Amino acid sequence: MSESTERSRIKIEEAKDKVIGAISETMDLYGVTPAAANLYATMYFKEQMTLDEMRTELGMSKPSMSTSVRKLQEIEMVKKTFTRGSRKHTYIAEKNFFRSFMVFYCQMWEREVKLNMEAIEEAQEDLINVIKDSSSTPEIVAEAKQCYDQLEESKTYYHWVEDLVLSIRSGKIFEFIPKNGQK
């Protein structure tokens, strides 16, 4: 292999590394470990990878790759593929960022809505009991009512988030914000 071919190859790798670094850095915000972030960013430029290739490429332990790959599978950023002949499992990265966006945020937002709505429903029941309680002073009733109303008001937001999730999942959002807006 010639000198300049080797130099070009290195140039390409450097170019990839710049993007790998950026993806990896922003993925921290998505609640994955540095290992998982690095792994996904690396896989983004590969056709497919086995656990051993990951370990070699990132210079990390196999269990670390195993848990990272599982985490990435949970948020559907990596999928397992069947490879005839080899006993090793092979994995491919989801390269469509729109899909990753959808899966990650919808999962996250639904969890948020569910948890908070459940708490709000329970709290509102308690507050109604206080309001209905004949032995409550007007002051107490007023406070309970105010709290109840604040919670009721906040439901508007959670319903909206739910609608947003529906719109993203169904793809309807792209009717409003098209994929080729300013291109």
Stretch that binds a copy of itself, among 63-71, 76-84, 86-94, 152-160 (CB under 8 A): 152-160
Of 110, 124, 45, 116, the closest CA to residue 75 belongs to: 110
Q: How many residues bind a copy of itself (CB under 8 A)?
A: 68
| Of the residues 8, 61, 81, 83, which one makes contact with a copy of itself according to CB under 8 A | 8
| Of the residues 52, 74, 112, 149, which one makes contact with a copy of itself according to CB under 8 A | 112
Of 57, 60, 99, the closest CA to residue 78 belongs to: 99
- The total of other beta-carbon atoms located within 10 Å of residue 40's CB is 25
- Cβ distance 77 to 90 under 8 Å? no
| Of the residues 14, 59, 82, 85, which one makes contact with a copy of itself according to CB under 8 A | 14
Q: State the alpha helices, DSSP H only, in the chain.
A: 3-27, 34-43, 51-58, 62-74, 97-132, 138-170, 173-176
| Of the residues 56, 83, 154, 170, which one makes contact with a copy of itself according to CB under 8 A | 154
43 binds DNA (CB under 7 A): no
Nearer to DNA among residue 67 and residue 167 (C-beta):
67
Nearer to DNA among residue 32 and residue 127 (C-beta):
32
95 binds a copy of itself (CB under 8 A): yes
Sign of CA dihedral 60, 92, 95, 102: negative
162 binds a copy of itself (CB under 8 A): yes
